[in-house]
């Protein structure tokens, strides 16, 4: 019984932030006829205000994000073409990252480097995990197996650490950039401000939620290799 309670609490801790973020974005995604434009148009409007004419806005199926290399704000179709509070707030959040890049915000630069390192490390870790059972079987060396196991777990955990480190960057994009823009420009009806804060919080916590989910993946491999 105690194990079941612990397992449920662990699942809530790992997946709870993801579920909450998705629920918030979905809750405020209903079309708003009082909005003059969609998320894509709003993003272009904000970029124009900051004279960031070289930054493009385009659609994607890979999740809303800003690409600092290509200088592109990418929004999923429901945000790009949607006239909803979620579309407007998410567009402002991603433009917030573009503003960070435009102003040479140092933590964003660090995150870009760390993400590249994490992606390479995670691929390495996954590869090591795949060959580890075979190496252990051939060499029959506990030391070699332990070393490979440590490398694999460590490389996979890097991705989790990077997500946690980048949380301040996401928080700044939401509440240091996007929220002030929305309020100063009069883009929000006062009654929508509280909901917009929830949406921006969900945007900021996306990476944190991903880091918790990746912990589950590391734990699963740990359990598997300990058998």
Query: pLDDT (tens digit, 0 to 9) for every residue of the chain, 227 residues total?
Result: 666 666 566 566 666 777 888 999 999 999 999 998 999 999 999 999 999 999 999 999 999 999 999 999 999 999 999 999 999 999 999 999 999 999 999 989 888 887 777 777 777 767 776 776 676 677 776 666 666 667 666 766 676 677 677 888 999 999 999 999 999 989 999 999 999 999 999 998 876 666 666 655 655 555 555 55
Contacts of 118 (CB under 8 A, 6+ apart): 158, 159, 161, 162
CA–CA separation, 178 and 93 (whole Å): 5
pLDDT at res. 114: 78
pLDDT at res. 120: 75
Q: Count the alpha carbons within 13 Å of 128 in the hemisphere toward its beta carbon.
A: 21
pLDDT at res. 202: 92
Does this model's pTM top 0.75? My answer is yes
- Residue 47, classified by CB atoms within 10 Å of its CB into exposed (0-12), middle (13-18) or buried (19+), is buried
């Amino acid at each position: 019984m105690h194990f079941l309670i612990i397992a449920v609490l662990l699942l809530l801790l790992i997946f709870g932030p993801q579920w909450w973020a998705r629920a918030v974005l979905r809750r405020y995604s209903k079309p708003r006829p009082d909005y003059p434009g969609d998320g894509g148009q709003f993003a272009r409007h904000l970029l124009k205000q900051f004279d960031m004419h070289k930054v493009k806005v385009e659609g994607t199926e890979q999740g809303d994000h800003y690409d600092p290399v290509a200088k592109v704000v990418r929004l999923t179709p429901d945000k790009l073409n949607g006239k909803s509070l979620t579309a407007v707030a998410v567009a402002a959040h991603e433009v917030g990252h573009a503003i960070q890049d435009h102003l040479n915000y140092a933590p964003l630069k660090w995150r870009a480097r760390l993400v590249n390192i994490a992606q390479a490390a995670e691929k390495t870790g996954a590869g090591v995990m795949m060959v580890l059972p075979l190496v252990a079987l051939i060499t029959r060396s506990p030391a070699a197996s332990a070393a490979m196991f440590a490398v694999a777990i460590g490389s996979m955990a890097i991705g989790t650490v990077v997500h946690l480190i980048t949380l301040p960057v996401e928080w700044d994009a939401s509440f240091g950039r996007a929220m002030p823009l929305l309020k100063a420009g009069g883009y929000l009806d006062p009654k929508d401000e509280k909901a917009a804060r929830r949406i921006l919080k969900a945007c900021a916590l996306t990476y944190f939620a991903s880091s918790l989910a990746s912990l589950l993946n590391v734990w699963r491999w740990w359990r598997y290799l300990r058998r």
